[in-house]
Structure 1
Amino acid sequence: MIKVYFEMGLIYSDILRALAQYHQTVISERHLKRILKGMGLSRRKDYSDINDVIRFVEHQLNESGKQHGYRWMAQKCKVSGLKSTQEEVRIILRMLDPAGTQQRKGRRLLRRSYISKGPNFLWHFDSYDKLKRFGFCINGCVDGFSRYIVWLNCYITSSNPRVVGSYFMEAISSLGGCPLVIRGDLGTENVFVRLFQRYLRRNDNDNRAGEKSYLEGPSTANQRIEYMWNFLRRECTDFWICLFRDIEAAGDFDGGFLDVGLLQYCFMHLVQRDLDAILETWNSHRIRQVHNSRSPSGRPLILYSLPGLYGTHDYICQVSDADVELCKQECTFRQPLPCDADVFEMCSCIMNENDLDYPTSTDEALDLYRTLRRASQIFLTN
């Protein structure tokens, strides 16, 4: 467990507290260091080759990673198995992307005061529509206490309440319970989440049960998820917005049904791959202490998984399997097809006829999109 906690990024004092609280094992910090040394575990030794780090950063700068600051890039290196210091990554970014570094220096964010009692006390969820006109509909949910991302999904729609409801029920099934309260905006796409939450909490007897277990209000007041969208724009989606606008400016996208379907076919898995990377990296990064904030600092994954280290507990509400299955029957779950079925069949035929491979990078996806767009016009004409 010491190795597990160390690799999760806990500092010495947090490891000692976790051992004492969850494993009834009390040792000194000196002894902990001896154990770590005996296992060859150190954060200040065995750094990755600097050339490997440079190559990784270069690759990221060719994708949506060009939006990252040095702290986020350093954390992404760590998640990818590269061991480097923030200072090394800062210098590499300054050398490889001086314009982007200068641009990020001026950005500031003023935060309102916020408090949540513990993990699963309050979830914030919403849809992100900046890529919607290109056919990519993103929906996400954040735990208010830990800032842990519960889900971050991209699909062909975020307007269908049964699809948004399926995201909620997938999370409920995975966690084995629902949050004490969930907050969304007044959009019709949230209807089923509201119904499911109130139904699952109908028989509880706390002061947040039943109707009070779902809060709704304007998106601008949904602080946690709005910050996440702001962060997502900086670190990821601005890259895709610029890319798709460039395609449109070049005359290769008209906003019609076919072009939207082709974009989805070529890029949906890449956008979702980026979102998965954001989720994994965000949940393992360290949130710095803010002096005028009542929210705890630390890593979202640790804050969410080990609330006892922060003097609180998990507020998850247990639900029955029968209730979960009944709610799932009303959901429309994401299909494996990245676009409309007819567009997918046409694209598959064109790719088979021309012996084309499915793209694994942005450049490959862009080439494939243009190839399919030309070929589809011939295909439909014939």
Structure 2
Amino acid sequence: MERDDLIEFYFNLGLKYKDIVQTLDLHGISISERHLHRILRARHLYRQKYDLDTGIDFIIDQLQGPGRDHGYRWTKCKQNGISIRKEDVRLILALLDPVGSQIRQSRRLRRRQYFAAGPNFIWHIDSYDKLKPYGICINGCIDGYSRRIIWLRGAYTNSGPKVIGGYFVEAIELIGGVPKLVRTDMGTENVVIRDIQRYLRSDDEDDRAGDGSYITGASNANQRIESWWGIIRKEGIESWITMLGELKDEGLFCEILISMEIILHPCS
């Protein structure tokens, strides 16, 4: 093969410019990388050439063939060696396939909108179980509007309704009232909080009085408290999880617990 044909061959294989120069040297052809660029330009070979016209033709061909149901096509353009911007692909699809674009847009995952009218409008309550295997059970409550931490407590359990209910009673005594709404997951550990909240709001006359003052849902959708768990893990708990996990893997964790039991409850 001639020199320029070899260059085009290795270029189409995807070799980097410096690798093409080194490979040509094995064929007894010595050129600089700068000269390689000139040869590639002369043969209209561009690695990052922006090719809008080819992109439009490719998308039209896709829409008229079996690829019409494949959705967003920027990745397919890249896979076929077409350099084109994502935004241009979106605009082309909106012009050529407005119905399909509208359908895809309607199925797009949208971020949930959060609303809290003011302080103590809604409290978010949840338990944090990452340290539970080591006997540290954390429960927390955060105000949805101000993100004030109403309580953050650790105990031997976070699944006892009376324990979690006790945190709630202490909080409303300290604040001097109850929130308009309480949001928890559907776990049985929250039944005491549910009953207290509904009872204390039973005589109110707003649209959220009584049973409507307590709402439940999936734990991972409890936005404010889930966000707080992410912060607390990053800022401090992660190191404890790592350390306790290492102790457990080395078989030392049980020995430490036994030693603590002896200290706390010495034999008579």
TM-score, normalisation: structure 1: 0.39
Contact 1:131 1:241 (C-alpha < 8 Å) held by counterparts? yes
Structure 1 portions without partners, runs of 5+? 1-109, 266-342, 351-378
Structure 1 match to 2:189:
189
TM-superposition CA deviations, 1:303-330 (whole Å, max 9, x none): xxxxxxxxxxxxxxxxxxxxxxxxxxxx
How many angstroms apart in 1 are the aligned matches of 2:143 and 2:258? 33
TM-superposition CA deviations, 1:320-374 (whole Å, max 9, x none): xxxxxxxxxxxxxxxxxxxxxxx3xx31466xxxxxxxxxxxxxxxxxxxxxxxx
Contact 1:137 1:157 (C-alpha < 8 Å) held by counterparts? yes
Contact 1:198 1:209 (C-alpha < 8 Å) held by counterparts? yes
Q: Which amino acid aligns with 2:147?
A: R
Deviation, 1:216, is 0.3
TM-superposition CA deviations, 1:47-71 (whole Å, max 9, x none): xxxxxxxxxxxxxxxxxxxxxxxxx
Q: Which amino acid aligns with 1:182?
A: V
How many angstroms apart in 1 are the aligned matches of 2:253 and 2:166? 31
How many angstroms apart in 2 are the aligned matches of 1:156 and 1:240? 17
TM-superposition CA deviations, 1:142-184 (whole Å, max 9, x none): 0000011100001111011100000000000001100000000
Q: 1:165 and 1:349, CA in 2 relative to 1: closer, same or farther beyond 3 A?
A: closer
Would you say 1:214 and 2:214 are equivalent positions?
yes
Q: Which amino acid aligns with 2:116?
A: S
Q: Which amino acid aligns with 1:151?
A: W
Would you say 1:347 and 2:263 are equivalent positions?
yes
Q: 1:260 and 1:348, CA in 2 relative to 1: closer, same or farther beyond 3 A?
A: closer
How many angstroms apart in 1 are the aligned matches of 2:131 and 2:124? 20
Structure 1 match to 2:150:
150
Which range is displaced more, 128-137 or 242-251? 242-251
Structure 2 match to 1:304:
none
Structure 2 match to 1:178:
178
How many angstroms apart in 1 are the aligned matches of 2:153 and 2:135? 13
How many angstroms apart in 1 are the aligned matches of 2:216 and 2:258? 33
Deviation, 1:260, is 4.8
Q: Which amino acid aligns with 2:128?
A: Y
Q: 1:225 and 1:261, CA in 2 relative to 1: closer, same or farther beyond 3 A?
A: farther
Contact 1:135 1:261 (C-alpha < 8 Å) held by counterparts? no
Q: Residue 235 of structure 2 aligns to a residue in which SS?
A: helix
Deviation, 1:113, is 3.2
Structure 2 match to 1:129:
129
Q: Which amino acid aligns with 1:207?
A: D
Structure 2 portions without partners, runs of 5+? 1-109
Q: Which runs of at least 4 in structure 1 moved beyond 3 Å after TM superposition?
A: 110-113, 258-262
Paired residues for 1:289-300 under 5 Å: none
Q: 1:123 and 1:200, CA in 2 relative to 1: closer, same or farther beyond 3 A?
A: same
Q: Which amino acid aligns with 2:224?
A: R
How many angstroms apart in 2 are the aligned matches of 1:125 and 1:228? 11
Structure 2 match to 1:247:
247
Contact 1:134 1:260 (C-alpha < 8 Å) held by counterparts? no
Q: Which amino acid aligns with 1:203?
A: D
Q: Which amino acid aligns with 1:125?
A: I
Q: Which amino acid aligns with 2:240?
A: W
Larger radius of gyration: 2
Would you say 1:223 and 2:139 are equivalent positions?
no
TM-score, normalisation: structure 2: 0.56
How many angstroms apart in 1 are the aligned matches of 2:265 and 2:162? 31
Deviation, 1:248, is 1.0
Q: Which amino acid aligns with 2:263?
A: C
Sequence identity, in percent? 48
Structure 2 match to 1:368:
none
Q: Which amino acid aligns with 1:347?
A: I
How many angstroms apart in 1 are the aligned matches of 2:176 and 2:239? 36
Q: Residue 145 of structure 1 aligns to a residue in which SS?
A: coil
Q: Which amino acid aligns with 1:131?
A: L
Q: 1:148 and 1:250, CA in 2 relative to 1: closer, same or farther beyond 3 A?
A: same
Deviation, 1:196, is 0.7
Q: Residue 224 of structure 1 aligns to a residue in which SS?
A: helix
